Amino acid sequence: MSKSVKIKTNIKLVLASSFFSIFLFGLLSFHMFNRFMEESRTKFDIPTFLIFSFFILLLVTTTLFVTIFFSNIEVNEKEIVIKNVFSKKVIRIENIKNIILSEINDSYVILVDRTRIQLKNDEIINLYSFKYQDFFKLKIILNFIDESIKNENIKLEKLNLDPILSEKKSLKIKSDDKTKTFNFSHILSVTGIFFYGLVGVILYHFFSIETFNIYTILQILVIITFLILLFSNDMSYFIITDNYLIVKNSIRFWEKKYFDLNKIESINIHRHFRQSGKTVVIKTKLFENRTYSSDNLLNKHWEGFKIELKKNNVAVFDDSDRISKRVIY
């Protein structure tokens, strides 16, 4: 029997969203609750109670939004199942009429990458790649289904997923591989100066407080975590070996992403509104689109990066000399 393939929700985006719903609004609710209890010893404080109720409402609303907005996808030999905490949508393979693998759409105010599935009853199902991890796996499967639909000699009723999705090989650098690193300094970048400057101000403020307790430590951790989430995405840098492009992050130093140079379809370099650095979109031949932003590199590093990619027969498109709209993949 053919195995099933699971495309999980984008856990990083869930955590970022949960930060606002649970940590931020939860912390504010807890603070206002303590204040309300103190004020209630003498009289019922209506303004404090209303503010507390408002933050509780925000906490519940945003938590419900996160649970509904994000979903998981599972593909078996006969069905594509999309489900979240409260609902489940089942798409029978035999009921698919047409597929658009990728189109740029402004459904969420910003530009996003969307996949459209049209059923034989003309129902349209829209899926957005930014909401999932490894969404490219679904695109590989949908591409196979789409090619089968267009081939009139094939009547597709069920899938054999094993040959469609080959096992992903682990990528490692050989000891004799030549490596070139394209990075200057995240500390001296505009993003780095803002980040470390704010961290310094916050630490100075809290350590100057006479009463230093667990609640203070929790506040420091929450604020610094928020700053890391806010600034670290602009601190990527790049390494090119004989066979791979490697993307690393100066703050999230444990992260490392490998791309086989032979499987890269194109690399697009953009500059967005109010962005001090540049954005790199890596598109592979297996429908994988990854976006990385970097303020670490100087112009000479960007030029060297492009030259080295072209030496490895990678198509590079650079329109960073003008401002372009950000596309979320």
User: Tens of pLDDT along 179-209?
Assistant: 899 999 999 999 999 999 999 998 888 777 7
80 within some domain: yes
274 within some domain: yes
282 within some domain: yes
Nearest to 6 by CA among 68, 70, 75: 75
Extract the tokens encoding 275: 């962005």
Q: Do 267 and 290 belong to one domain? A: yes
pLDDT score for 1: 45
The mean pLDDT of 33-52, rounded to a whole number, is 67
pLDDT score for 169: 59
Residue 57 and residue 39 in contact, taking contact as beta carbons nearer than 8 Å: no
Amino acid at 148: S
Q: Do 184 and 266 belong to one domain? A: yes
pLDDT score for 173: 63
What is the bridge-based pairing of β-strands 256-260 and 264-271? Answer: unpaired
Distance CA 86, CA 315 (A): 44
| Domain of residue 263, CATH code | 2.30.29.30
Q: Do 130 and 33 belong to one domain? A: no
Q: Label residue 231 by pLDDT band (50, 70, 90).
A: very high
Q: Do 185 and 273 belong to one domain? A: yes
3-state SS class at 220: helix
Nearest to 160 by CA among 286, 76, 74: 76
User: Tens of pLDDT along 146-178?
Assistant: 988 888 666 777 787 877 777 555 566 666 678
Among the residue ranges 126-130, 184-188, 323-327, the one predicted with the least confidence is 323-327
- Output b/e per residue, 167-194; b: 16+ Cβ within 10 A: eeeeeeeeeeeeeeebbeebeebebbeb
Q: Do 153 and 81 belong to one domain? A: yes
pLDDT reading at 13 higher than 60:
yes
What is the domain extent for residue 271? 180-189+235-328
pLDDT reading at 42 higher than 70:
no
Distance CA 205, CA 216 (A): 11
Tell me the CA distances in angstroms from 117 to 98, 123, 164, 196, 264, one per residue in order. 6, 8, 19, 46, 26
pLDDT reading at 55 higher than 80:
no
> How far from each other are the two terminal CA atoms of the chain, in whole angstroms?
33
Tally of domains within the chain: 3
pLDDT score for 37: 66
**Residue that terminates a domain, selected from 38, 69, 100:** 69
227 within some domain: no
18 within some domain: yes
Q: Do 283 and 184 belong to one domain? A: yes
**Residue that terminates a domain, selected from 49, 69, 89:** 69
* pTM of the entire predicted model: 0.81
3-state SS class at 292: strand
Q: Do 185 and 295 belong to one domain? A: yes
Q: Do 185 and 292 belong to one domain? A: yes
Q: Do 47 and 113 belong to one domain? A: no
Q: Do 154 and 52 belong to one domain? A: no
Q: Do 272 and 184 belong to one domain? A: yes
**Residue that terminates a domain, selected from 40, 69, 98:** 69
Q: How many CB atoms lie within 10 A of CB 292?
A: 19
Distance CA 280, CA 259 (A): 13
